[in-house]
């Protein structure tokens, strides 16, 4: 499951790639794909339509001081095939990665179902940030397994 500085987990979901992608491309549904309650509501619930788009969601994490906003830069957008984003913050210079990690969902049709591969990659997380939060990643690979189960439940 761990390859260098990534977790990669796959789950077969009994839904078409377009059904799965529709949830992933809808910022208002992102809280439905998490096993916990870190992700809250979308600030702008407009669907994601292209790479380069930024979507913002309210977040809550006691270790991060409670409520905060995460601005996610979409780095991959291949309708019904793949979507990825780089979480970060906005400042006067634009978007910058908050900690250097990314989320990527790859979808592959599988006999009326969809194999969904979720990759959490923290390769680009600076050591200073790793030290600040007590190491990377801040959760085990089981978090991704639970995320894919939550994604499946949100479609069923």
Q: 121 or 94: whose pLDDT is higher?
A: 121
pLDDT of residue 1 exceeding 50: no
Domains of the chain, with CATH numbers?
6-155 (3.30.530.20)
What's the mean pLDDT in 72-91? 93
Q: What is the pTM of this model?
A: 0.90
Q: 51 or 100: whose pLDDT is higher?
A: 51
Q: Which of 64, 54, 61 is nearest to 39 (CA)?
A: 61
Name the average pLDDT for the chain: 89
């Amino acid at each position: 499951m761990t390859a260098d500085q990534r977790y990669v987990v796959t789950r077969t979901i009994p839904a078409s790639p377009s059904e799965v992608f529709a949830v992933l491309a809808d910022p208002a549904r992102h809280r439905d794909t998490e096993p916990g309650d870190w992700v809250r509501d979308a600030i702008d619930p407009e669907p994601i339509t292209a790479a380069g788009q930024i979507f913002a969601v309210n977040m809550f994490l006691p270790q991060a001081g409670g409520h905060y906003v995460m601005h996610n830069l979409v780095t991959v957008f291949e309708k019904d095939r793949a979507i990825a984003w780089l979480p970060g913050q906005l400042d006067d210079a634009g978007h910058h990665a908050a900690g250097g990690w990314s989320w990527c969902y790859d979808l592959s049709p599988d006999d009326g179902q969809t194999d969904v591969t979720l990759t959490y990659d923290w390769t680009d997380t600076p050591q200073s940030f790793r030290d600040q939060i007590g190491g990377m990643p801040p959760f085990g690979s089981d978090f991704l397994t639970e995320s894919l189960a939550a994604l499946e439940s949100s479609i069923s």
